[in-house]
Amino acid sequence: MKRKRFSDEQIIGILKEADAGAVVLDLCRKHGMSSATFYAWKAKYGGLELSEAKRLRALEDENARLKRLLADAMLDNAGLKDLLGKK
């Protein structure tokens, strides 16, 4: 899994700096990120407060866990169907 360099707090802080009037290219250079990353964050986290961003992260983690559980169940189901079909 890809390692995160910036926490939710840092991302929200960088976006608030931009909202306060800082130049995007200067922010990107200062924090060592690309402008594409900044605009992706803005699309995802734009207008969110820190508590909302943490809730979003928790929901994304739960969604990923549930998707893995569903994939495992479907794989087990397919295996059982194959086993019953061969008899």
Distance between CA atoms of 63 and 67, rounded to whole angstroms?
A: 6
pLDDT band at 13 (very low <50, low <70, confident <90, very high): very high
Helices and strands in the chain, H and E counts: 4, 0
Distance between CA atoms of 8 and 51, rounded to whole angstroms?
A: 10
Task: Tell me the mean pLDDT in the region 37-59.
Answer: 92
Distance between CA atoms of 45 and 9, rounded to whole angstroms?
A: 11
Q: What is the mean pLDDT of the chain?
A: 91
- Model confidence at 2: pLDDT above 70: no
Q: For position 22, what pLDDT does the model report? A: 92
Tokens at 23, concatenated: 């130049």
What is the number of residues in the chain? 87
- Model confidence at 4: pLDDT above 90: no
- Model confidence at 15: pLDDT above 70: yes
Q: For position 3, what pLDDT does the model report? A: 64
